[in-house]
């Protein structure tokens, strides 16, 4: 099973709201990733967790706050977002995150910030 | 620095015709190479990957890719395209060690004519 699930599928939020995106995998992977994808563009890496520790933050604004409660779950907490943050947010996982590995992607959460 | 180029932004083929999507990379050694497909509004699905060994790689959905070191290419092929193959295709490369990061190409959008 190579499934990564993400909830919700769609999210509309105002600029003053606080919301969270959730990602889950049950493949026993120990690395999880958040990507942001704008329309007609490739995904851009935001964060990487390896063994539940944040290992990469690609200079993402603090209004995005990741959390990895356990090896199967990854959250992205959103607060005071801007309209330009509207995008498809993709979660991925890989085996260990100790080097380049095959990443398995979820279906994404489409976020609209009004 | 690593980079990857997908020279064709859009490709249109007729159903049943053959397909080749181009991917060229720049890297000092043999990178890890991937092809992903993304249907509209969906996540990325891994089609195939190359780490080492046989330079002709078979993937899912009837796709194959050939790694050509001399040309720094990893082109994706399919002998007979189906209407359901219409999607965005991303080539990704990465260094085998020292980084978690994929470098994605800009993508090729495939349109299939009935």
Give me the torsion for CA of A4, B35, B112, B82, rounded to 10°: -70
Distances (CA, A) of A5 to A10, A57, B58, B104: 13, 22, 26, 22
Residues forming a β-bridge with A112? A12
The residue of chain B with its CA nearest to that of A41 is B106
Q: Which of A4, A7, A37, A42 to mutate to test the interface with B (most CBs of B within 10 A)?
A: A42
| CA nearest to B35, candidates B113, B102, B112 | B102
Who among A55, A102, A105 is closest to B43 (CB)?
A: A105
Chain B neighbors of A106, CB-CB under 8 A: 43
pLDDT in tens, A43-97: 999 999 999 999 888 899 999 999 999 999 999 999 999 999 999 999 999 998 7
First to last CA, chain A: 37
| A39 and A100 Cβ atoms separated by less than 8 Å | no
Who among B90, B99, B109 is closest to A42 (CB)?
A: B90
Interface of B to A at Cβ within 8 Å reads 32, 34, 36, 41-46, 49, 90, 94-102, 104-107, 109
User: Per-residue pLDDT averaged across B48-72, rounded?
Assistant: 94
In terms of phi and psi (left: phi > 0; alpha: psi -120 to 50; beta: otherwise), the region of B55 is: alpha
Residues A91, A34: Cα–Cα separation, whole Å: 5
The CA distance from A41 to the nearest CA of chain B, in Å, is 6
pLDDT in tens, A18-37: 999 999 999 999 999 999 99
Q: Is the pLDDT of residue B100 over 80?
A: no
How confident is residue B10, by pLDDT bands cut at 50, 70 and 90?
very high
The CA distance from B3 to the nearest CA of chain A, in Å, is 13
């Amino acid at each position: 099973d190579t499934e990564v699930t993400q909830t919700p599928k769609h999210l509309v939020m105002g600029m003053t709201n606080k919301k969270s995106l959730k990602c889950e995998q049950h493949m026993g992977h120990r690395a999880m990733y958040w990507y942001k994808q704008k329309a007609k563009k490739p995904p851009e890496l935001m964060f990487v967790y390896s063994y539940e520790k944040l290992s990469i933050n690609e200079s993402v604004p603090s209004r995005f706050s990741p959390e990895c409660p356990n090896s199967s779950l990854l959250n992205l907490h959103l607060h005071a977002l801007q309209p330009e943050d509207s995008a498809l947010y993709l979660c991925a996982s890989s085996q260990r995150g100790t080097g380049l590995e095959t990443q398995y992607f979820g279906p994404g959460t489409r976020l609209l910030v009004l | 620095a690593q980079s990857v180029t997908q020279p064709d932004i859009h490709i249109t083929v007729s159903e049943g015709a053959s397909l080749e999507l181009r991917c060229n990379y720049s890297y000092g050694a043999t990178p890890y190479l991937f092809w992903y497909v993304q249907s509209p509004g969906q996540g990325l699905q891994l089609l195939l990957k190359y780490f080492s060994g046989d330079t002709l790689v078979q993937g899912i959905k009837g796709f194959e890719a050939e790694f050509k070191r001399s040309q720094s290419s990893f082109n994706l092929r399919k002998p007979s395209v189906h209407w359901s193959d219409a999607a965005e295709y991303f080539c990704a490369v990465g260094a085998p060690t020292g980084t978690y990061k994929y470098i994605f190409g800009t993508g090729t959008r495939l349109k299939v004519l009935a």
